[in-house]
Amino acid sequence: MAMLKKIGFERLEKALSAKTISHANTADLLEFDLGNGVVIRGLKVCWDDKHERGKQTIIPVPRTREQYASVDADAIPDNIDDAEQVRRWTLGLKPGHELIMET
């Protein structure tokens, strides 16, 4: 995490090849192998706003169900390998809740 804070996911994505775990309409769940058994995940989210098209960011996300332990158990995605479910989790939506509109 210290390395990610220093260089950021965007630079990490350029420096290392990422394995795409899952693809959703506006998000990709990526996995980076840093070597020595260290594997991290990030949710790459893309969107357009009224000022700019093609904005994107990468949000660090847990890799295993155990890493979600500090989170409300009801909020953990049903499938942590599904980009759409992980995206909904980053928005604070619990499984089963519907998203009407994102702004």
Phi, psi of 37 (to 5 degrees): 75, 10
> Which residues are CB-neighbours of 87 under 8 A, at least 6 positions away?
24, 26, 27, 43, 45
**pLDDT grade, residue 68 (50/70/90)?**
low
pLDDT at 34: 83
The domain segmentation of the chain, as residue ranges, is: 2-90
- What pLDDT digit, counting tens, does each position of 38-63 carry? 888 888 888 788 888 877 777 888 77
Cα–Cα distance for residue pair 71/77, rounded to 1 Å = 11
**Mean per-residue pLDDT over the chain, rounded:** 78
Does the pLDDT of residue 11 top 60, yes or no?
A: yes
pLDDT at 103: 54
pLDDT at 23: 92
